[in-house]
Chains A and B, each alone.
Chain A
Amino acid sequence: MKILIADDSRVMRQIVIRTLRQAGYDDHDIVEAEDGRDAYDKVQAEQPDLVLSDWNMPNMSGLECLQALRSSGSGVPFGFVTSEGSAEMREKAADAGALFLIAKPFTEETFRDALDGVIV
């Protein structure tokens, strides 16, 4: 599978990649995006099988990216990895079409719980 990881923090992108590996999801192609706009463009260009996106990012938020993707007809599986895990944010994410929301700080077990069945 090709997985696109969108986060404006390079450090956090590395941590997400490392946690994916620790959770047993290695051997996948990883594409990185540094904000929502970059993620939107790379979904069009790279056709990933899954997007893991931060919420708060400059230029375009993760939520705006997801909404833009759905408006453009893209149904790419999309999940948030964000420091905001409140019920309110989870509801907004689900309403916009996100499959899941992983709250930071996360562990490899959190990743497995959210991604089991999504990453094959």
Chain B
Amino acid sequence: MTETRIPRRRAGDRPPVITELLDEAVVQEIADQAWAALVGEEEVLVPLPGEVPADAVSSWVEVLGPWTGTVVLACGRRTAADLTRALLREHAPAELEDEDVADALGELANVVGGNVKAVLPGPSALGLPEAGTAPAPGAAADTCRVDLLWRGQPLTITVQGAALAPEHEN
């Protein structure tokens, strides 16, 4: 856990939406750097939409600050397994455990999320990576999504505001 203090927003302040803070090109550049360093120098992410399979798996990290939301990575199970093998290289076991895949996908979300956080207004805190069923998206206007192909397989990176919760006004 970080010790960053998060200032309370004053009543009446409108929180920023993500599209005012970054765009798809920034997210793609962050992802490109993460892939080159972690997955492999020759590995490229092609900015083309593909249909993420119905059995998609997700990993994400939460950003909590002036902008609050999650950075979510989603891809098919086969893609997730291939990414895990690429990260582990010679240390990849013959049979991947679900835990290995969650760990690898979580670290990719963590690295992308940490760098997304760095371009957002602070101070803010980064949560621990999680994997499973991604948090529900918030408003469409507070969402920045890039659709990519890696080795011809689709994956998406979404920077999404927290789902709207009922507000309790004083």
Q: Which residues of A does B touch, CB under 8 Å?
A: 8-12, 14-15, 18, 55-58, 61, 63, 82-86, 88, 92, 103-107
**Distance in angstroms between the alpha carbons of A25 and B88 in the assembled complex:** 19
Are A85 and B114 in contact, with the CB atoms below 8 A?
yes
**A12, B107: Cβ atoms under 8 Å?**
yes
7 smallest beta-carbon distances between A and B, as pairs: A83-B114, A105-B37, A86-B118, A11-B104, A104-B111, A105-B34, A84-B114
Contact of B37 among A55, A85, A106 (CB under 8 A): A106
> Closest CB of chain B to A59's CB: distance in Å?
10
Q: Which residues of A contact B107 (CB under 8 A)?
A: 9, 11-12
Query: B68 an interface residue at 8 Å Cβ cutoff?
Result: no
How big is the B interface, by class?
A: 20 to 34
- The answer to whether A83 and B128 touch (CB under 8 A), given A18-B89, A63-B2, is no
Interface of A is mostly: loop
Residues 103-120 of B contacting A (Cβ, < 8 Å): 103-104, 106-107, 110-111, 113-115, 117-118
| Docked-complex contact A14 and B1, CB < 8 angstroms | no
List, in ascending order, chain A residues with CB within 8 A of B49's CB. Answer: none
Number of A-B contacts (CB under 8 A): 74
CB of A88 within 8 A of CB of B122, answer: yes
Q: 1/0 per position for B92-106, CB-CB distance to A under 8 A?
A: 000000001001101
Q: In the bound complex, do residue B36 and residue A105 qualify as a contact, i.e. CB atoms below 8 Å apart?
A: yes
CB-CB contacts below 8 Å: B57-87 with A: 84, 87
| Minimum CB distance partner of A18 in chain B | B89
Nearest chain-B residue to A54 (Cβ)?
B110
CA distance A83 to B38 in the complex (A): 12
Residue of A nearest to B113 (CB): A83
Residues of B with C-beta under 8 A to A92? 3
Q: How far is the CA of A68 from the CA of B78 in the complex (A)?
A: 42
B33 within 8 A of A: yes
Given contacts A84-B114, A86-B122, A61 and B106 within 8 Å (CB-CB):
no
CA distance A105 to B118 in the complex (A): 13
* Other-chain contact of A61, B2, B38, B122 (Cβ < 8 Å): B2
With contacts A83-B110, A83-B126 taken as known, whether A11 is within 8 angstroms of B103 at the C-beta atoms is yes
Residues of A within 8 A of B117 (CB): 84, 86
